[in-house]
Amino acid sequence: MSRSEERSSGAPTAPRAIVAGHAEFAAGLVSAVQQITGRGDQLIPVSVAKLSVEDIEKLLRTRMQEANVRVIFTDLQAGSCTMASRRILRGMDDAVLVAGANLPTLLDFVFAEGRSPSEAARHAAERGKAAITAHGAGGEGA
């Protein structure tokens, strides 16, 4: 990694993953990551409104190739972006899709600069799952 790709903190600034989902899901999450950490530039938000399945796949594939990334975060198991990503990742052994991503997932990912992007994505998926809790109404989290 060149010096120009690093901040003074050592965090990578080159994109490391795509974020895609319904409506403004991706832009919203990436803006939140940027506001909280200043590391939003590791994530490329992709919006797919109005696109056909074929065009969603083309767009995601193009963004991945342009940025040379192998990680995709999506919002919903059944979502069109998830379906398209599964098609793209077919046969790409070094690529990872994380479906059901949330803000804690992405925060963990952008701070995992010591891991490869695929390792960071798998770790982030676990952190994202663990970050969901319910409070109140007599539950354990109350």
Partner 1 sequence: MTLELYRIDDRLIHGQVVVGWGQPLDIGFIVLVDDAVATSDWEQELYRMGVPPEMEVYFHTANDAVGVLAKYRADPRHGLLLTGDIATMRRLVDNAGVRAVNVGGIHAGVGRTQRLRYVFLSLDEERQLRELGTRAEVTARDVPGARPVSLNDLLAGDEP
Count of residues touching partner 1 (by CB under 8 A): 17
Binds partner 1 (CB under 8 A): choice among 11, 14, 32, 76: 76
Q: Report in angstroms how near the CB of residue 88 gets to partner 1 at its nearest.
A: 12
Q: Which amino acid is at 108?
A: D
Shortest distance (Å) from residue 78 CB to partner 1: 4
80 lies in the site for partner 1, by CB under 8 A: yes
* Residue closer to partner 1 (CB basis): 90 or 135: 90
Binder among 10, 77, 133, 136 for partner 1 (CB under 8 A): 77
Q: How far is the CB of 68 from partner 1 (least distance, A)?
A: 25
Residues counted in the chain: 142
* Residue 69 CA: distances (Å) to CA of 25, 34, 38, 52: 20, 19, 20, 23
- DSSP run (H or E) holding 72: strand 71-74
Q: Angle formed by the axes of helices 103-110 and 25-37, to 10°?
A: 50
Name the residue among 124, 122, 142 with its Cα closest to residue 133.
Answer: 142
Under the binding rule (CB under 8 A), the answer on residue 42 touching partner 1 is no
- Estimate the crossing angle of helix 53-67 against helix 80-89, to 10 degrees: 60
- In the list 58, 61, 86, 123, the residue contacting partner 1 (rule: CB under 8 A) is 86
Which of 11, 27, 32, 51 touches partner 1 (CB under 8 A)? 51
Q: Is 61 in the site for partner 1 (CB under 8 A)?
A: no
* Residues ≥6 apart with Cβ < 8 Å to 23: 47, 49
At residue 94, the 3 state secondary structure works out as: coil
Instruction: Write out the residues near partner 1 by the rule CB under 8 A.
Output: 22, 50-55, 76-80, 82-83, 86-87, 90
